[in-house]
Amino acid sequence: MKRKEGTPKRPSSRSKTIYLVGEMTGETISKIARASLAQFSREKVKVKTFFQIRDKQQIRDIAKKAAQDKALVAFSVIRPPLRDFLIQEAERRGIKAIDVIGDFIVQLSIFLKEKPMAIPGRQYILDEDYYRRIEGINFAVKHDDGKMPQGLKLADLVLVGLSRTGKTPLSTYLANKGWKVANVPLHPDMAAPEELFQVDQRKVFGLIISVENLVKLREGRLKQLGLAPYAKYADPVMIADEIEWCKAFFQQNPRWRILDISDKAIEEAAASILRAYQTGKKPV
């Protein structure tokens, strides 16, 4: 029986499960997992999170569930007793457990000839850098996808581009580094806000992408929504026209700097933007 249009697909029987386990909020291990999983097909991966881990009973329960799911456990547990117990439970139940941060800390300890403090959450000490990141994240959320265009003048950077060209992930990544980033969507049938042309144009970065990559990204988005992948939104001919229009629109604004994000990881694209902004050169 054919699946009706608009009906979500059932999860693949080949899907895999990953458990993320951490003592604190899980922000660090979640970032690492997202960056790593971006290199793979996310359709076959289910991620379950277990944070604020405080005692051995929680670890027992997690290990039992992980064994039932045949999951890979990636953990960031700093306190030695809990970390060692988690490793023992994983071995006892025959599941793979990866110490995402601990291995690096061990090598740092050897290199620096200094014993680590083993204090969970020490990276979140409330310093000036912390508050700058929080301010950047709040700004990115408020000014995502063209919201509050009157605030564009307050942005450190403004990203513009077609739908699914990575504006929001890039804004979020840069915000976590303390930059106030706004992003504005572009479309042939939608007028860009006047405020976009009133800000310092050296702050504006246009994102462009190949037809093939944008088709894949939009098809992926349609699948997430449970919609047919052949909708106009992901039609290669329509997308090619959109990209040609976007390139012409960028040419009308010669002070904007253009970055081709095709096949670029978020970290690489963000580094290109920051380097271009700080040096005044074109991004590469």
pLDDT, average across residues 219-241: 88
Query: Could you tell me which of 128, 124, 132 has the C-alpha nearest to residue 177?
Result: 132
Pick the CATH number of 128-279 from 3.40.50, 3.30.70, 1.10.3470, 1.20.120: 3.40.50
CATH numeric code, 16-124: 3.40.50.2300
Burial bucket for residue 46 (CB in 10 Å: 0-12, 13-18, 19+): middle
pLDDT, average across residues 207-226: 92
- C-alpha 244 chain-centroid distance: 27
Examine the pLDDT at 131 and tell me if it is beyond 80: no
Q: What is the pTM of this model?
A: 0.59
Mean per-residue pLDDT over the chain, rounded: 86
Contacts of 153 (CB under 8 A, 6+ apart): 195, 198, 199
Q: Do domains 16-124 and 128-279 have the same CATH topology?
A: yes
Q: Contact, 50 vs 18, CB < 8 A? A: no
Cα gap 32→78, rounded to integer Å: 16
Phi, psi angles (nearest 5°) of residue 88: -65, -45
pLDDT, average across residues 42-66: 90
Would you kindly state where each structural domain of the chain is located, as residue ranges?
Answer: 16-124, 128-279
Q: Contact, 109 vs 116, CB < 8 A? A: yes
Phi, psi angles (nearest 5°) of residue 162: -70, 170
Question: What's the pLDDT tens digit per position in 168-214?
Answer: 999 999 998 899 999 999 999 999 999 999 999 999 999 999 999 99
pLDDT, average across residues 248-257: 97
Examine the pLDDT at 282 and tell me if it is beyond 90: no
Cα gap 146→212, rounded to integer Å: 25
The two counts, helices (H) then strands (E), for the chain are: 9, 8
Examine the pLDDT at 138 and tell me if it is beyond 80: yes
Token couple for 180:
């106030």
Examine the pLDDT at 140 and tell me if it is beyond 50: yes
**Among 74-78, 133-137, 267-271, which range has the highest average pLDDT?**
267-271
Phi, psi angles (nearest 5°) of residue 16: -120, 155
